[in-house]
Structure 1
Amino acid sequence: MKESSGKQLAKKMLIALVCGLVAGFGCILLREHLNSSGQADLWKTINNIFFQDISAEGATSAAGIFYIIGQVFVNSLQLIIVPMVFVSITLAICTITDTKKLGRISSKTIFTFLKTTVCALIFAGVIGFIVYHLGLFNSVDAGNISVQEGITGSNPLNIIVSIVPNNFISAFTNNGNVLAIVFLAVVTGLSMNALEDQTKTLKKLFEEVSKIISLFLTFVINKFAPYAIFCLLTRTFAIYGIDSLKPALAYVVTVIIALFVYLFCAYPIYLATMARVNPKPFMKKAAKVALFGFSTSSSAATLPLNKKTTTEELGVSDQIASFVLPLGMTINMDGTAIMQVIAAMFVAVSSGYKVTFMSMAIIAVLALIASIGTPAAPGAGAVILFTILTGMGYTNDAALLAYSLILAINRPIEMLVTSLNVVGDASTSVIVAKKENMLDEEIYHR
């Protein structure tokens, strides 16, 4: 039943993906046609009815049907992120009575995350270096590009301070600092583990809350995901004009190729070498997780489906998945790291800075630190990129112009970046579960 349900959901999501892409590109062509033929007002009316962000300034009379549907769906998933992460990690830790086993799982998880991220950074550096020497990262044309506001650069080491919150309640009121929730869950789980039977009532409460969360997510994902995916994709591509992509075409093409190559080559290699399992069943079953991440552009919103797929279809123990996936959502960002390295090189080269091997190495280190602290939300990677640029000193007018261009056109890339991030989390779950003999290979190969 679970396998059949998973296949049906994957089929519906694939149909929604294809239809959304077709409708989105159709809207791009319609927009270009209407604007070039002097009917810009007609497109403005269509945009107000279907695609307009109704929370934007001056959009008081817009309907924004597709925007509303997409946001309600994403909000309903983000609503459950904090309680889900806290409860799942707490239960995973408090049910592992062997502290040595818990230490092994933690160390293997973090080491695997670190290993794959470093490989991603090296891969991105090689791709960026090749494109740089081919002379494809040329100067950005300043015409028709409006500078968008980013954020003030900050020390990446602030991530360490933010892990430990100074207020227990405030940590649960913000989805932006999931690392703090992970810390609180680990501390709570270890304390419950030490107290054993004295916390039976609390453990039972968490188990019941976990069941409620699971039921809610199953309903939302199974009933509404395909329709929301169609609306999210159609709107994303409809609001972009062709002209906005031209100035940074080399950057866009380079990142997309790099992300696709890493997605279809790196993860199968990791599974074959680290877990010693056939990667084909994984890639087939994880496809809907990647599609969902692509559609929502949010690792956090994809976490519920990722956990469901990893445990029910890939055979990973719930203890492993409950610990690895929420942690991976916050610190395992292979796709984000690749995007940030190539983006930093694009900004540097296009704005006149010289790129050396040493500067590439520093960019990679900053990207590693910055990607760990990237919020699991749409557009966060491009915003955190400013920290890397500031750390490298890429702050002249041309660099800020190139950065503003990335902010303007990076949403489609962020969608693909999210696919890599969530697939990386799932593959690490399989690898760790296999090493701990907590992978049901009968379910995995089914």
Structure 2
Amino acid sequence: MKKNQNRLAIQMAIALICGLTFGSLFLVLREHLLDSNPNLWATINKLLFQDISAEGATDAIGIFYILGQLFLNSMQLVIVPMVFTSIALAMCRISDTKTLGRLSYKTIGGFLITSLFALVLAGIVGLVANQFGIFNVNIDNMSAQTGTTGSNPLLIFVKAIPNNITSVFATNGSILSIVFLAVVTGLSINHLGEQISVLKKLLEDVNKIITVFLTFLITKFGPFAIFVLLTRTFAIYGVEHLKPALAYVITVVLTLLVFLTLGYALFIFIMTRLNPMAFVKKTAKVAMFGFSTSSSAATLPLNTKTTTEELGVNKEIASFILPLGMTINMNGTAIMQVIAAIFIASSAGYQVTVGSISLIAILALIASIGTPAAPGAGAVILFTVLSGMGYQNDAALLAYSLILAINRPVEMLVTALNVVGDAATAVAVAKSENALDEETYHSL
């Protein structure tokens, strides 16, 4: 088992390097051909990278797009049943209501601790960057973003309890509602005990089928998917907007990397007194997978497998914490939104103070809870933060458009941070509950 796990990690690392290498080569080729031979690049793009669902792409082949979407669709196919069955079964298996309550507040507490440190770090970095004038850029050549509207962040909590059960199960965008329904179902089955046997057995069987399917998908096709997704992302990524946003990109990437490599390691050491290097090493492939797919939901199966089989977290605890974390624990998203909001405010001429940064952090924390676990969602939800702060003049819309144009690579790193944060909280909670196999955790 350990040999297979190490082999998968090595394969994913190789795929990551190859994807970044080939993607960068295609990026350079793209910029060269757009200047010298745009028709040739258009042909290459149609053959390999074109989104065939886009308007006007009826004659495109888009090999890399098709392969990437097939894998992502396969992963997303089971998100709703996986989250529902895993959380419901976790509720069923926790017979002691005191244990359940203790587990819940420890989990939420772990999420809040990491989120607090993430927001403080982002606020400090953003304030320093603003004070030194790093975010004062020229954005006059951009066209304003249209079609995106903000909303009250508190609506997240209202929508957590659905008024139509079928609509919730019909989309991957209502995971918070799925969590609520799963908790209610699991607790109800737990309360009724032996009176409910068929439904519980059905949930267990569905969960087993999902586990087998996802294990096969990840081990057999995961590394190849990483290569395809990364290559295409960087190949279609233009650099025309990169220069004015270079300060934002460098600032947020460095902040995310610091928190990913040092922040979670420090959290593990403080909360558990365990060797944080074992955690960092074993979650590396989870971070790679999250980086390449840019989807917390698609990474959940691998995260669950790694957390239980390699980090030694009790399966019931992992089944409760990880899907919940995928829904509400968005440290990377919060960091990105805080720095992006400060960048937009500075670029658009708004005054940035400690007070305004504190308000941005609160709004980012609330908004990130409702961020769908899907690629690109964080930058869209950012508009909610901007609306709450009143950053809506023309210059702010231009700067927001700039963020949307160049944010995909940043979102990839954001996802890596989010999924590793879920695993870190699971380890900390399991340790406090004496439900962590430390021999497995420390094994190579």
Q: TM-score, normalised by structure 1?
A: 0.98
1:74 corresponds to 2:86 = no
d(CA) in 2 for partners of 1:376, 1:20: 23
d(CA) in 2 for partners of 1:168, 1:241: 42
Q: Which amino acid aligns with 1:132?
A: N
d(CA) in 2 for partners of 1:167, 1:14: 43
Per the alignment, residue 138 of structure 1 pairs with: 136
Q: Which amino acid aligns with 2:268?
A: L
Q: Which amino acid aligns with 1:107?
A: Y
Kindly report which structure 2 residues correspond to 1:323-334, keeping only aligned pairs within 5 A, or say none: 323-334=320-331
Q: CA deviation at 1:147?
A: 3.0
Per the alignment, residue 302 of structure 1 pairs with: 299
Does the Cα contact within 8 Å between 2:304 and 2:322 map onto a contact in 1?
Answer: yes
SS of match in other structure, 2:197: helix
1:159-202, Cα deviation, whole Å (9 max, x unpaired): 01111011112111111010000000000011011011111222
1:359-381, Cα deviation, whole Å (9 max, x unpaired): 11110110110011111010110
Residue-pair matches, total = 443
Kindly report which structure 2 residues correspond to 1:424-443, keeping only aligned pairs within 5 A, or say none: 424-443=421-440
Per the alignment, residue 63 of structure 2 pairs with: 65
d(CA) in 2 for partners of 1:152, 1:297: 23
Q: CA deviation at 1:36?
A: 2.1
d(CA) in 2 for partners of 1:186, 1:367: 26
Residue number among 89, 92, 95 corresponding to 1:91 in the alignment: 89
Kindly report which structure 2 residues correspond to 1:172-251, keeping only aligned pairs within 5 A, or say none: 172-251=169-248
SS of match in other structure, 1:243: coil
Per the alignment, residue 28 of structure 1 pairs with: 27
Q: Which runs of 5+ in 1 are unaligned?
A: none
Residue number among 143, 162, 165 corresponding to 1:165 in the alignment: 162
Per the alignment, residue 46 of structure 1 pairs with: 44
d(CA) in 2 for partners of 1:140, 1:303: 40
Q: Which amino acid aligns with 1:172?
A: F
Q: Which amino acid aligns with 1:44?
A: A
SS of match in other structure, 2:143: coil
Q: Which amino acid aligns with 1:346?
A: F
1:223-280, Cα deviation, whole Å (9 max, x unpaired): 1111111110001001112222111000000000000011111101100011221111
Question: What is the aligned-residue RMSD (CA, Å)?
Answer: 0.8
1:402 corresponds to 2:399 = yes
Identity percentage of aligned residues: 66
Per the alignment, residue 16 of structure 1 pairs with: 15
1:196-217, Cα deviation, whole Å (9 max, x unpaired): 1111222111111111000000
Does the Cα contact within 8 Å between 1:140 and 1:248 map onto a contact in 2?
Answer: no
d(CA) in 1 for partners of 2:110, 2:27: 41
Q: Which amino acid aligns with 1:259?
A: L
1:269-316, Cα deviation, whole Å (9 max, x unpaired): 100011221111111110000000000000000001000110011100
Does the Cα contact within 8 Å between 1:150 and 1:386 map onto a contact in 2?
Answer: no
Does the Cα contact within 8 Å between 2:47 and 2:62 map onto a contact in 1?
Answer: yes
Q: CA deviation at 1:118?
A: 1.1
SS of match in other structure, 2:415: helix
d(CA) in 1 for partners of 2:140, 2:72: 35
After the TM superposition, which segments of 4 or more aligned residues of structure 1 sit over 4 Å from their partners? none
Does the Cα contact within 8 Å between 1:132 and 1:349 map onto a contact in 2?
Answer: yes
Q: CA deviation at 1:73?
A: 0.4
Q: CA deviation at 1:50?
A: 0.4
Per the alignment, residue 374 of structure 2 pairs with: 377
SS of match in other structure, 1:242: coil
d(CA) in 1 for partners of 2:144, 2:20: 28
Q: CA deviation at 1:148?
A: 3.3
d(CA) in 2 for partners of 1:298, 1:331: 14
d(CA) in 1 for partners of 2:337, 2:155: 19
1:81-108, Cα deviation, whole Å (9 max, x unpaired): 0000000000011111111001110110
1:253 corresponds to 2:250 = yes
